[in-house]
Amino acid sequence: MAETTDLNKTLAQAMTVNDLGIPSSILSDLILRLMFNEGDVSIGRFAEVVRVHTQVIDETLSWMQQEHLVEVAKAGTLGRLSYVYRLTDEGGKRARDAFERTQYVGAAPVNIEAYHQAVLQQTENTRRIMPDEVKQALSHLILPDNFHRRIGPAINSGSSLFLYGPAGNGKTTVAQAIAQLLAGTDPIWLPYAVTTGGQIIQVYDPLIHVPAQVEKGKTEQLYGRVDKRWGLFVRPAVMVGGELKMEALDLRFDLTAKFYEAPLQMKANGGMFLIDDFGRQQVRPQDLLNRWIVPLESRIDFLRLQTGQTLPVPFRQLIVFSTNLDPAQLVDAAFLRRIQMKVEVGSPDEKMFYQIFARVCEAFNVPFDKDSFVYLLQKWYREPKRTPQSVHPRDIIKTAVSICNYEGAPPRLTPGLIDEACRSYFVD
């Protein structure tokens, strides 16, 4: 087994109730609610849902049996661990009381201090991304020479990146390539839920947290016996656009279920958080900047429970802002100073535009015609003084292919077809 590290200690399998690091009442309430929902429940089922070791489940059920909250519904042949339990009348009353506190049924939470330690331990010394890896991740894009040198340092710093420039030149695609690059690095251990002050905060989101594929036996070799309240996930990537609201950046309390859902930036810890079309959100840019100006510098975020308790949590993800608006009009100098890297993704020159056009032709199985391309450049860009955008070749060729399909003709390029496609695409 690998040498024990601080992370190994944080993730270590809890073998007793005291080892869980949370109040025993949280686990007993979870067991009561599960039994109330499902009736007769085996120890194996408890372990599957609550994600703690069967020995801890057995210890808790033994105590609950002494308190006349549960009884054995069916005795197995393999000792206590094969027993099936059901609630007593008193247990049913206690289960209803447990539902009054919260309706959460799922993985037992870890304490917030363990979460804090695990995130810091996995983000302080992450594997450095090499230049060749960044170039490979961006290889499907036509970008200026050495563009990767502007992106790579921001990825390795893991702090913040501001992508700006005219619409349609690949800012979002660059950000998505960064997300894929991060996803290919070492996976990250994250808890399914955390607890503080008796409250439960659900961290796991199936739309964001993708289980990492690891060779059988390798996890235990590297980390020892890991508590199942932690999951090993691909580095998360959270991407939001114009739909972003301020409440998504704060703890969200479900008044019916009576537990919290982690904010988006907490779900993105250890990975990337992209705010696309920055400046077009339902929240004002200045409000968003005021919310994050301290976390961006201190790398600690402060969340607030309904009780008024303030909760410090790690703010450890690569924050990417992407906008086609003028940064100087959008944010003030104080905020820009806190964003480590600012990268312009500009419009392509004619050479790059040619390369993009040729590559798109190949992707759509359209024979490249140099005369048609020169005609496009002269008639639709040089004469009207239109600025080329990286997205134009894809859209123009898609339109030309659609016209050919409508005619029942094989995909092709001619000056006439270029004119027809451009008249449908551009609004002059």
Task: Spell 313-342 as b/e; 16+ CB within 10 A means b.
Answer: bbbbbbbbbbbbeebeebbeeebeebbbbe
Strand partners, 253: 260
Percent of residues in the chain assigned helix, strand, coil, to nearest 5:
45, 15, 40
Residue 135 maps to a domain: yes
The whole-number average pLDDT for the span 226-250 is 91
> Nearest to residue 165, comparing CAs of 388, 353, 368?
388
Domain end residue (candidates: 305, 328, 344):
344
Residue 281 maps to a domain: yes
The CATH number given to whatever domain includes residue 164 is 3.40.50.300
Residue 1 maps to a domain: no
β-strand pairing of 310-314 with 110-111: unpaired
Residue 2: pLDDT over 60:
no
Residue 11 maps to a domain: no
42 and 57 both lie in a single domain: yes
35 and 182 both lie in a single domain: no
Domain end residue (candidates: 63, 80, 108):
108
149 and 214 both lie in a single domain: yes
210 and 306 both lie in a single domain: yes
If one compares 25 and 277, the residue with the highest pLDDT of the two is 25
203 and 95 both lie in a single domain: no
Q: What is the pLDDT of residue 385?
A: 94
Q: Say which residues have a Cβ less than 8 Å from residue 117's Cβ, sequence separation at least 6.
A: 6, 10
Q: In the chain, how many domains are there?
A: 3
Residue 277: pLDDT over 60:
yes
The CATH number given to whatever domain includes residue 89 is 1.10.10.10
Residue 72 maps to a domain: yes
The whole-number average pLDDT for the span 258-269 is 96
The whole-number average pLDDT for the span 60-89 is 88
Residue 12 maps to a domain: no
What's the Cα-to-Cα distance from 273 to each of 40, 346, 381, rounded to whole Å? 43, 22, 36
The model's pLDDT over 348-405, given as tens digits with 9 standing for 90+, comes to: 999 999 999 999 999 999 999 999 999 999 999 999 999 999 999 999 999 999 999 9
The DSSP output letter for 318 is: E
306 and 355 both lie in a single domain: no
40 and 178 both lie in a single domain: no
Residue 3: pLDDT over 50:
no
261 and 410 both lie in a single domain: no
Domain end residue (candidates: 108, 137, 165):
108
Q: What is the pLDDT of residue 4?
A: 45
Q: What is the pLDDT of residue 126?
A: 64
pTM given for the model: 0.87
104 and 118 both lie in a single domain: no
211 and 254 both lie in a single domain: yes
Distance CA 38, CA 19 (A): 27
85 and 174 both lie in a single domain: no
The parent domain of residue 122 ranges over 111-344
Mean pLDDT over each residue of the chain, to the nearest integer: 90
The CATH number given to whatever domain includes residue 361 is 1.10.8
149 and 236 both lie in a single domain: yes
Distance CA 32, CA 93 (A): 10
The whole-number average pLDDT for the span 206-221 is 86
Residue 5 maps to a domain: no
154 membership: H or E segment, kind and range: helix 148-157
Residue 97 maps to a domain: yes
155 pLDDT tier (thresholds 50, 70, 90): confident
